[in-house]
Each structure stands twice: as C-alpha cells, then as structure tokens.
Chains A and B, each alone.
Chain A
Amino acid sequence: MSVLVYAEHDNAALNKVTLSVVAAAKAIGGDITVLVAGKGCGAVAEEAAKVDGVSKVLCADNDAYEHQLAENIGDLVAEVAGDYSHILAAATTTGKNFAPRVAALLDVAQISEISDVVDADTFKRPIYAGNAIATVKSSDAKKVITVRGTSFDAVAAEGGSASVENIDVAKDAGISSFVGEELAKSDRPELTSAEIVISGGRGMGNGENFEILYKLADKLGAGVGASRAAVDAGFVPNDMQVGQTGKIVAPNLYVAVGISGAIQHLAGMKDSKVIVAINKDEEAPIFQVADYGLVADLFEAVPELDSKL
C-alpha cells in the first residue's frame, strides 16, 4: 500500500489540517507521499518534508496551480495517482472541490469526509448531518478519500526528513480562470483549528452585538463562529458558519451563545470536548448537548463572563 496525501496550503505555509490527513494516512498504512501543488510553493514542500511519517514529497510548482483550480488540480492528481492505492485530501472547500474530479477521472468512487479508518478498504463517515455514522467498504482498487480533519489527531509537524522531488507536470485545462478573492482578515485563530470557539446565534440580534463575543474571544484566544440562523439573518459572513453546511469544529471548549441548537448546527460542533450553552430559553435543544448550561440573558451573561476571566 502507498498513500498520496494532497497538501492544503496557501503557497506560503502548510495548513495544519494536512497533519490530520497524514494521521489518517498512517492509520491506513504504507508509505506516505505528500503532493504539494501550487505556485512558488517550495517552502511548503520543505515544511511537508519535515512532517512526521512522510517518506516523500512531490512538488508541482506551476502557474496553473496557483489558485487550486479544480480542473487543473484534478488532472494533475489523477495523473500522479497511478502509483498509489489511496489518494487522500482534507475535507475542506479545496479538497471537496477537486477530489471528486480525481475519482471520476480514475473511474472510482470517492469516500467523503471519513471520520475513522477501520481497515485499508473500510471507513466510517457521518451521514444525514451526523445523525448516523455509516461504515462503508470500497471495492475499488484505488480509493479517493476526503478526511474530516477534526476526527484525526494531527501528527507532529517536525521529526520527519522526507526527500523533496520536483515534478514537472503542467496541467492547464484552460477552461477556468481565477478572477479574485475576498478573504476574511482576522487575527483570531481559524475556526477549525482553534482550541476554543465562541459562536453566536440568532439571539445575538444583529451583527454589531457580535462585538461582545469578539471581545471575549480575544481574551481567551478563541475563534468566533456563528449558527446558520445568524448567517442567514445577515449578522455575520458565511465563512463563520458552524454546522452541516458550514464548518465542522471540535475544539476543547465550544461556547454557544444565543444558539437554539438545530440539528444542523449540532452536526458541526457536537464533537467538541466541552460545550457551554448560554441561552435565555431553558427549553432550547442546545442544553441537551451542553456540559454546562447557563439560562440567562446573553447580553448580561457574556460581559459578566468577560469581566470574570
């Protein structure tokens, strides 16, 4: 067996989620090769070479890969895939975008967002917004898999000494082009890797009121998320959404503020180690999953909490 892990990065640094994907690759077994595709991504390849358990790094440095366009990356990975039994990518918007193309080009199924490795052919994955866990077995010779990062403990970023091989495979399908991007700028930790996440829901009332959560988050070094209701109401941008259709988080501490706890939201945070819910409605379903519930007006409780920490 041999596993190809697709590295997630921004051409400058390796995204930590890749360390969790390598952990999943280790659970499958066999040699682990990391593919870094991008533009001017040599530093990322060097970083990947140090990751514990990685035996080889392939670096495809080309203009066509700068923005991770699925058409080009899909063609590249499908070509490189020949030597591997498993092709793994993170279940991020990048991985979800190109991996099914690779599977289709190889004429194999994709197994999406695995949360556990049973054996080299068998995996667990959440279905129905996490309301059921399916154990699935693939009969394909090659497996294309996306990995839920929060379900695997990251391997060490240091300790490995893999070789880096530059590969000269230029795939430019010429059918898509990058126009631009608006990335949320925040000094707060990224939601999926934050140790503490504080999320606000419809109960926040408006976007300005999220200020009290930002203030508390900055004191705790926390990331700030939101429920779909808060996003739909226009309080905050969609990249803050935690849930079935947003981000999946599993921090040490998750604080749900003014969130009722729809199953679609719970799907995104119920694997958190400790859950705190602050809501004035004592009947809110969020209290059924919370380790500590506080029935209170959030506009009093959050500032008080802030002052006492």
Chain B
Amino acid sequence: MKVLVPIKRVIDYNVKVRVKADNSGVDLANVKMAMNPFCEIAVEEAVRLKEKGVVSEIVAVTIGPKAAQEQLRTAMALGADRSILVETDEEVQPLGISKALKAIVDEEKPDLVILGKQAIDGDNNQTGQMLAALTGMPQGTFASEVDVADGKVKVTREIDGGLQTVELTLPAVVTTDLRLNEPRYASLPNIMKAKKKPLDTKTPADLGVDLTPRVTTEKVEAPAERQAGIIVGSVDELVEKLKNEAKVI
C-alpha cells in the first residue's frame, strides 16, 4: 500500500510573527522556516503504518519554492522513501495546491493521502478536504486515531463536542490533528541517508495545473493590542474589581 504525504514549509512554530511596516504581509526575511507541525504528525503516522507493515511506500510531496527541498529531506529523514517538489515561486493557495496534488494523485495512485489539517501560516484548513472532493475520495479530517484494515480506514475525528468515528473506503484522505501521535526526531544517520533518497522536481506546467490565486491580500495588519491591566493584591480585591469595575459577575 502506498501513502502520499503532502507537506508544507512554513515559519517555524516558535518564531514570533511580525507584520511588515507597509502592511503587505508578514515579515519572512531571515526567519527560521520548518515543516508545518501538523505535517510532521502526518509523516509520523505514515511511518508508523509502514512500521506496522500496513504501508510499503511513503511519498512526500510539496508545492513551493526550491528551498522547500529542506522539508522534503526532513520528511525522508523521518522515513519517507522518496519525494516530489512541485516548484513555484508564486504564492500558492489551497485550491491551486489541491489541483496540483490531484495531478500527483493521478500519477502516483496512492491508497491513502495523509496531510496536516491546517498550516500554521494561513490557518486555512482546506487543502485535504479540497483534494478529497477533487479526487472523489472520502475524507477523515482532524484525525486522532487511524486504523487501516480490509480495504477500509477507520478514522476517529476530533469534533467540537467530542469524538466521532467514521469508516472510509480506500483510497481516502486523512488530515491530522494534534493528538494523533507524537512525531519522532530524525536521527543523524537517517538525515545522512535521506540525502541519497530520490527527490523529483516538477513544475505546475508539467502537471498541467493553473495555480493562479483567486484571493488577493489587500493588507495585513497587526491585531489590536490588548492592554495589560493591573495586578491585584488579593482575592478580595479581584472579586471587588469584577463586581464593581468590570461588572461581569
């Protein structure tokens, strides 16, 4: 069984985001970039399925700039067998990404596509669902448990009220939530080995897809700053303030 794991290069989780002075976007110059945390969970889940003998091949894919090769190498160091970069320096949005991924799915014919539920830059939470719709696959989004057996996958999903379990026919799309697993760290020998694993580069034109954004960003602003309030000296003072000043209790 083959698994496709689409990943994304994003600003590192720990970097404090700053809006550019001209409000054109977020300042990404000289900031540390990394694999999106939800994508790490997706890679880890694929690797665990391979370790269990359910999966025989893991292909990582990303759509982005040449530098995104770093994240593909990371995915291969974590256990992906090979990877594909669809190289573009243009801005890509979920619909375009999904179309490129559909073209890859048509070529690779994976049984399962595992990807992060959202990227921590755009916070869109769309790509997996869009890919599923475009390929006619069922989807198990926000997964906290994935169980593949008998040509089906059972996915336990984190929903607002608790947990929901659905059963999907294969091929299927699964998007990862935080509690699905705890990703491993790549070992040095595996990082070295990953350098020799195959990494194909394609262009959107090779795939015959149009990545033109449909949404333009007019401006990006810093959110309204919340003013720090006061430190109260005692519980009594807190109760008094909440009752008489804030009037919320």
Q: Do A and B come from one complex?
A: yes
List chain A positions with a Cβ less than 8 A from chain B.
67, 69-71, 74, 92-94, 96-105, 107-113, 122, 126-140, 173, 175-184, 192, 196, 220, 228, 231-232, 237-239, 244-245, 247, 252-253, 263, 270, 273-276, 282, 287-296, 301, 304-305, 308-309
Among B125, B164, B235, contact of A308 (Cβ-Cβ < 8 Å): B235
The docked-state distance in angstroms from the alpha carbon of A288 to that of B225 is: 10
A113→B123 contact, CB < 8 A: yes
Instruction: List 22 interface pairs A-B (beta carbons < 8 Å), by A numbering.
Output: A67-B164, A70-B132, A103-B126, A105-B133, A108-B95, A130-B223, A132-B223, A133-B220, A134-B217, A137-B215, A138-B214, A175-B138, A179-B154, A179-B167, A180-B165, A181-B164, A238-B144, A270-B223, A273-B248, A293-B229, A305-B235, A305-B239
Given contacts A104-B134, A239-B160, A273-B248, contact A245 B219 (CB under 8 A): no
A253→B242 contact, CB < 8 A: yes
Among B123, B168, B229, contact of A126 (Cβ-Cβ < 8 Å): B123
Interface range, B side: 35 or more
Chain B contacts of A183 at CB under 8 A? 161-163
Determine whether B72 belongs to the interface, using a CB cutoff of 8 Å to chain A: no
List chain B positions with a Cβ less than 8 A from chain A.
11, 16-17, 19, 26, 93-95, 98, 118, 120-134, 136-139, 141-142, 144, 154, 157-169, 172, 177-179, 213-223, 226, 228-232, 234-236, 238-239, 241-242, 246, 248-249
A270→B226 contact, CB < 8 A: yes
Q: How many A-B residue contacts, CB cutoff 8 Å?
A: 253
A128→B161 contact, CB < 8 A: no
Chain A contacts of B239 at CB under 8 A? 305, 308-309
Q: Which residue of chain B lies nearest to A239 when distances are taken between CB atoms in the complex? A: B162
The docked-state distance in angstroms from the alpha carbon of A230 to that of B214 is: 39
The docked-state distance in angstroms from the alpha carbon of A256 to that of B163 is: 25
Q: Which residue of chain B lies nearest to A191 when distances are taken between CB atoms in the complex? A: B160
Given contacts A133-B223, A135-B218, contact A177 B120 (CB under 8 A): no
A253→B249 contact, CB < 8 A: yes
A177→B221 contact, CB < 8 A: no
Chain B contacts of A74 at CB under 8 A? 129, 133
Chain A contacts of B221 at CB under 8 A? 132-133, 135
The docked-state distance in angstroms from the alpha carbon of A178 to that of B235 is: 49
- Shortest CB–CB separation between residue B1 and chain A, in angstroms? 18
The docked-state distance in angstroms from the alpha carbon of A180 to that of B164 is: 6
Chain A contacts of B222 at CB under 8 A? 131-133
